[in-house]
Amino acid sequence: MIGIAILLTRSAVSICKDVYLKVQKSAYLKMQSKITGGDTTYLFTARILNKYDIKYYRCNQTGFIQTEEPYWLEEAYSSAITKLDVGLPYRNIYLTDKISRILLPNFNYKGIFLDYAGGYGLFTRLMRDKGFNFYHTDQYCQNLFAEYFDLKDLPANTHFEAVTAFEVFEHLPDPVPQIKQMLEFSDNLIFSTELQPATINSVDDWPYFATETGQHIAFYNEASLKAIADQLGYHFYTDGSFVHLFTKTKFNINPLVLPKEGYLLRKARRLIQKAERKMGMPDGLLLRDWQYIRDKLNAKS
Computed over every residue of the chain, the mean pLDDT equals 89
Beta carbons within 8 Å of 23's beta carbon, 6+ residues apart: none
Q: What's the pLDDT at 24?
A: 46
Per-residue pLDDT at 10: 35
Q: For residue 79, what pLDDT is reported? A: 87
Give pLDDT, residue 262.
74
**pTM of the entire predicted model:** 0.86
The pLDDT tens digits for 93-150 are: 999 999 999 999 999 999 999 999 999 999 999 999 999 999 999 999 999 999 999 9
Instruction: Grade residue 298 by pLDDT with cuts at 50, 70 and 90.
Output: confident
3-class DSSP state of 22: helix
More confident residue, 251 or 296: 251
**Could you report how far apart the first and last alpha carbons of the chain are, in Å?**
34
- The domain spans of the chain are 2-76, 88-247, 263-299
pLDDT of residue 301: 58
- Give tens-digit pLDDT for 173-195: 999 999 999 999 999 999 999 99
What does the alpha-carbon distance between residue 42 and residue 26 come to, in Å, rounded to a whole number? 10
pLDDT at 47: 97
Query: Under DSSP, is residue 266 helix (H, G, I), strand (E, B) or coil?
Result: helix
Q: Percent of the chain having pLDDT more than 90?
A: 73
What is the enclosing helix (H) or strand (E) of 75? helix 73-76
* Class of domain 88-247 (CATH, top level): alpha beta
pLDDT at site 176: 98
What pLDDT, on the 0 to 100 scale, is given for residue 18? 45
Residue 22's pLDDT is 43
Tell me the pLDDT band of 299, cut-offs 50, 70 and 90.
confident
pLDDT at 21: 39
Rounded Cα distance between 29 and 49, Å, is 25
CB within 8 A of 13, min separation 6: which ones?
Answer: none
Q: What is the pLDDT of residues 4-32, one digit of tens each?
A: 333 333 333 343 334 333 444 444 447 99
pLDDT bucket at 205, cuts 50 / 70 / 90: very high
Residues shown for the chain:
301
Kindly give, in sequence order, each residue whose CB lies less than 8 Å from that of residue 224, ignoring residues fewer than 6 positions away: 35, 59, 62, 63, 64
